[in-house]
């Protein structure tokens, strides 16, 4: 494991995407109350889905009711991975796959707002919205608005590049069929278009800590937009006591209080990253295999211990 090895940060990408959208909100280019239909007309329709009733806030907060993207072959089995690891997906194709499933809102749309439910589709749509608002790709906006200003030299947003440039450890997965002894299939090579907007950023633990610190010290968002990002709703689907804002989860600390951060996973790479409320201390931990529930617990414990240590 290289000390500064790069890896796919998976869903921690969502914090980057939400940051770009909130910057556009601050610039008056878009509003959190705008509907998906306003910016992406006709994209979210049919099967109980209605873009007129889904706002930008709903996308970032996972309260849209839009189902997650079904697992593609490259994510489902070793055979599927070998056959389709180089396949490129368009955002429109990914959204179409998700929308073939029924909406999680009430059938007649007359009931209450959709319950919180995690869906990568929300952030694929957010990336499409960024492209529509700015006229430039989501990848370019993340690069120009976050990566370059913060000088995150080991962070990148590949569109379809399947390689991880620079030092990196290989990732492995058993696709859910492991016996605890076999590391599984080497899945380092992957066309990341399957996770555009939702999970395709490549980074390092050092750069992730820099990103979160910049987010909380005002270099990326003003106070009003950071308040929007950190205003959370219950997200029991993620775990007991967890809440979710706009691209950020709020996780309880064993020493009292909570911290903000995000979990990420993309085919053999996993990360837990977090930062204290005052932005004084941040922690990022990553692994390169399935690991199982014991590994997940160890990652969370390490983040918790380090953030609690900063309060003693």
- Of 288, 266, 292, 262, give the one whose Cα is nearest residue 274: 262
Query: Which residues belong to the active site?
Result: 11
Distance CA 182, CA 188 (A): 16
Q: What burial letters (b/e) apply to 124-145, b meaning 16+ CB within 10 Å?
A: bbbbbbbbebbeeebbebbbeb
Distance CA 101, CA 304 (A): 37
Distance CA 143, CA 241 (A): 33
Q: Return phi, psi of residue 170, to 5°.
A: -75, 150
- Of 220, 222, 201, give the one whose Cα is nearest residue 212: 220
Give the rounded distance of the alpha carbon of 161 from its chain centre. Answer: 19
Burial bucket for residue 77 (CB in 10 Å: 0-12, 13-18, 19+)? middle
């Amino acid at each position: 494991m290289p000390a500064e090895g790069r890896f796919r940060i998976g869903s921690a990408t969502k914090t980057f995407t939400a940051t770009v959208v909130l910057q556009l909100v601050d610039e008056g280019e878009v509003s959190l109350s705008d509907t998906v239909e306003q910016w992406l007309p006709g994209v979210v329709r049919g099967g109980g889905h209605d873009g007129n009733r889904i706002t930008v806030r709903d996308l970032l907060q996972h309260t849209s009711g839009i189902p997650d993207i079904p697992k593609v072959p490259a994510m489902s089995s070793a055979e599927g991975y070998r056959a389709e690891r180089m396949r490129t997906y368009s955002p429109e194709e990914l959204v179409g796959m998700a929308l073939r499933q029924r909406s999680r809102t009430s059938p007649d749309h007359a009931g209450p707002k959709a319950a919180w439910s995690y869906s990568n589709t929300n952030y694929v749509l957010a990336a499409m919205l960024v492209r529509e608002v700015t006229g430039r790709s989501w990848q370019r906006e993340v690069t120009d608005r976050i990566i370059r200003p913060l000088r995150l030299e080991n962070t990148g947003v590949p569109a379809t590049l399947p390689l991880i440039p620079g030092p990196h450890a290989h990732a492995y997965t058993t696709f859910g069929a492991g016996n605890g002894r076999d590391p599984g299939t080497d899945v380092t090579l992957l066309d990341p278009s399957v996770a555009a907007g939702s999970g395709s950023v490549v980074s390092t633990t050092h750069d992730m800590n820099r990103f979160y610190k910049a987010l909380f010290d005002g270099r990326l968002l003003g106070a009003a937009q950071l308040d929007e990002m950190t205003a959370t709703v219950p997200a029991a689907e993620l775990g007991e006591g967890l809440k979710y804002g706009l691209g950020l989860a709020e996780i309880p600390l064993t020493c009292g209080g909570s911290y903000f951060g995000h979990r990420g996973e993309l085919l053999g790479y996993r990360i837990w990253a977090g930062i204290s409320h005052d932005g004084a201390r941040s922690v990022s931990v990553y692994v390169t295999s399935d690991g199982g529930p014991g590994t997940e617990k160890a990652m969370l414990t390490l983040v918790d211990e380090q953030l609690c240590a900063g309060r003693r």
